[in-house]
């Protein structure tokens, strides 16, 4: 296996290569650090590269490998991982996409960092995000814009765009991200990856707690469904004091990806109201996947599209208020976040509470609308990836409208707390990745992953590599 093949090898396969002593954690880490040094100035996928810490950790793990029985090693022992720059790591800069804070050193670990380390990961660095994670593109002022490895003039999505770009370009083996309105699924869609938003309560927000009315969740970006499932196994679990929680699964999420699910009842839709239909580039993969699901023995039938009329306003209120909650000085914010902050300042406490009540009502209606279906199949976004800077010159009101009209199929399931996965299916005529979204019943992450894995076996996409980055 050459170095490029190794860089694009799925994370679980890398872990097995380490166990078999075909490659060492240090060799893998040095490979990725070399690729980051070479490609990141073009790609803008990392804000911070933890070179010394990563090498020291990988060296320790390589020494440990010589003396530890392989059956005692954690699942991702020695596998290099990237972490989103919204999740602090003690002693490492955490800027939240704010240029003025690029040298701000975190004093604590995010709660999930210990779990990632316990799983054996080597952390390579902090990946780029939009400012405060606010936007579905990753162009924080004062930083290099994150670029799509498949087409450098286009966005890799956001706000986990840096992690998606790094993974798609072979600058890490797997990525951690978060999703408050499509911020894992959108980048996965834009970059030809698998992105999972877990069910609400599946992944803890300890020690800080949840700050976005239950809309957001940390989760994985992977090359394969199995990688994504195995990382969810690592990330999931209740921590005392969590406001939301789910019972642990009966079997591991990785295990459910190894066998086909029973025949499922699947709802099909290609539009959301009041916005309308997906473009042909995003609609056709959904229709093709529906046909494939039927050939695999599942029952697929059209369903009425959800009506977001009652969801858009309260979701926007929550979005605006999280900008205010961050308590960042007005003058360091970018144009769109300043506008959102000004709107938030005009919201009275009673208006906010009414909006959150409306959000709860709309969320329940979404769950009820699809309660007869095991899975809902729909687009991830309504059109393919936009160009970098495409909306910068527009008025803020128009940017907001454009964002809503692009990402509309994702936020409803942040509101409802349902598990949702983005799965790559192929490419547009211009070479941009596209894919589909699978949404499960609340708490049914296992069903979503099992079906996604079945589709992946029928139509694998993880062997594709962006030509510009598929070189030694």
**pLDDT digit string (tens) for 381-395?**
999 999 999 999 999
Angle at 188 between CA 146 and CA 369, to 5 degrees: 135
| C-alpha to C-alpha distance for 337 and 466, rounded to whole angstroms | 32
The token pair that represents 346 in the structure block:
């005009």
**Which structure tokens are listed for 82?**
């990237």
Cα of first residue to Cα of last residue in the chain, in angstroms, is: 12
In angstroms, the CA 184 to CA 410 distance is 10
Cβ count near 180 (within 10 Å): 25
What's the pTM value of the predicted model, to 2 decimals? 0.97
For residue range 340-351, list pLDDT tens digits in order. Answer: 999 999 999 999
> Which residues are known catalytic residues?
84, 159, 183
The answer on pLDDT for 210 being more than 80 is: no
Percent of the chain with pLDDT over 90: 93
User: CA–CA separation, 25 vs 48, rounded Å?
Assistant: 20
Half-sphere exposure of 464 (CA within 13 A, CB side): 19
Where would I find the H helices in 3-126? 3-7, 11-19, 25-43, 51-65, 111-118
Q: What is the pLDDT of residues 219-235, one digit of tens each?
A: 999 999 999 999 999 99
Say if CB 378 and CB 370 are below 8 A apart. Answer: no
Which H or E element spans position 424? Answer: strand 420-427
Q: Which of 251-265, 311-325, 453-467 has the least mean pLDDT?
A: 311-325
Q: Which band of pLDDT confidence, cut at 50, 70 and 90, is reported for residue 396?
A: very high
Neighbours of 471 (CB within 10 A): 12
**Mean pLDDT, rounded, for 271-279:** 96
Phi/psi region, residue 157 (left: phi>0; alpha: psi -120 to 50; beta: rest), is: left
Model confidence at 1, in pLDDT bands (50, 70, 90)? confident
Q: Are 174 and 223 in contact (CB under 8 A)?
A: yes
DSSP class of residue 436 equals: E
Domain residue ranges in the chain: 3-469
Residue 20, SS3 per DSSP? coil
Report whether pLDDT(209) > 80.
no
d(CA 271, CA 408): 9
Q: Please state which of the ranges 43-47, 157-161, 318-322 shows the lowest mean pLDDT.
A: 318-322
Sign of the Cα pseudo-torsion (105, 110, 114, 116, in order): negative
Return the C-alpha torsion angle 31, 2, 227, 426, nearest 10: 110
Give the 3-state secondary structure of residue 337: helix
**Across 129-143, average pLDDT:** 97
Q: pLDDT digit string (tens) for 73-124? A: 999 999 999 999 999 999 999 999 999 999 999 999 999 999 999 999 999 9
Q: Looking at the domain 3-469, which fold is it? A: Amidase signature (AS) enzymes (3.90.1300)
Share of the chain above pLDDT 70, in %: 100
The half-sphere exposure of 75 on its side-chain side, counting CA atoms within 13 A, is 17
The DSSP secondary structure of 190-245, one letter per residue, reads: HHT-EEEEPPTTSB--TTT---STT--EEEEEESSHHHHHHHHHHHBB--TT-SS-
Could you report the per-residue pLDDT of 408-441, keeping only the tens digit for each? 999 999 999 999 999 999 999 999 999 999 999 9
Kindly write down the DSSP assignment for every residue of 150-179, as one continuous string. Answer: TBTTB---SSSHHHHHHHHTTS-SEEEEEE
């Amino acid at each position: 296996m050459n170095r490029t093949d190794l860089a694009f090898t799925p994370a679980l396969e890398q872990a097995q290569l380490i166990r078999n002593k075909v490659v060492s954690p240090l060799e893998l880490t040095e490979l990725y650090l070399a690729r980051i040094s070479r490609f990141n100035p073009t790609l803008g996928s990392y804000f911070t590269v933890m070179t010394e810490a990563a090498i020291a950790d990988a060296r320790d793990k390589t020494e440990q490998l010589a003396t530890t029985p392989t059956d005692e090693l954690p699942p991702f022992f020695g596998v290099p991982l990237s972490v989103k720059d919204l999740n602090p790591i003690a002693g490492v800069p955490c800027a939240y996409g704010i240029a003025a804070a690029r040298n701000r050193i975190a004093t604590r670990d995010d709660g999930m960092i210990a779990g990632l380390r316990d799983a054996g990961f080597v952390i390579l660095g902090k990946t780029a995000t939009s400012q405060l994670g606010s936007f579905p593109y990753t162009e924080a002022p004062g930083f290099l814009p994150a670029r799509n490895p498949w087409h450098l003039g286009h966005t890799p999505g956001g706000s986990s765009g840096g992690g998606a770009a790094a993974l798609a370009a072979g600058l890490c083996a797997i990525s951690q991200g978060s999703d408050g309105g499509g911020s894992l699924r959108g980048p996965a869609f834009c970059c030809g990856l698998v992105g999972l938003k877990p069910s609400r309560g599946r992944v803890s927000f300890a020690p800080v707690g949840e700050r976005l009315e239950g809309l957001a969740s940390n989760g994985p970006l992977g090359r394969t469904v199995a990688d994504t499932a195995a990382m969810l196994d690592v990330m999931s679990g209740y921590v005392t004091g969590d406001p939301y929680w789910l019972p642990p699964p009966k079997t591991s999420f990785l295990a459910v990806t190894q066998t086909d699910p029973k025949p499922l009842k699947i709802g099909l839709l290609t539009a959301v109201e009041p916005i309308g239909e997906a473009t042909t580039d995003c609609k056709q993969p959904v229709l093709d996947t529906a046909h494939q699901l039927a050939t695999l023995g599942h029952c697929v039938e059209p369903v009425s599209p959800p009506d977001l009329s009652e969801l858009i306003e309260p979701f926007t209120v929550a979005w605006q208020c999280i900008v205010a909650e961050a308590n960042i000085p007005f003058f360091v914010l970018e144009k769109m976040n300043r506008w959102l902050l000004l709107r938030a300042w005009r919201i009275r406490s009673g208006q906010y509470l009414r909006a959150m009540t409306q959000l709860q009502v709309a969320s329940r209606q979404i769950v009820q609308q699809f309660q007869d279906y095991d899975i809902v199949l729909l687009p991830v976004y309504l059109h393919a990836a936009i160009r970098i800077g495409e909306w910068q010159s527009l008025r803020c009101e128009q940017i907001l409208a454009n964002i809503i009209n692009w990402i509309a199929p994702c936020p409803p399931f942040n509101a409802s707390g349902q598990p949702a996965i983005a799965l790559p299916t192929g490419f547009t005529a211009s070479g941009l990745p596209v894919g589909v979204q699978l949404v499960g019943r609340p708490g049914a992450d296992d069903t979503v992953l099992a079906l996604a894995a079945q589709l992946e076996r029928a139509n694998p996409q993880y062997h594709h590599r962006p030509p510009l980055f598929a070189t030694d």
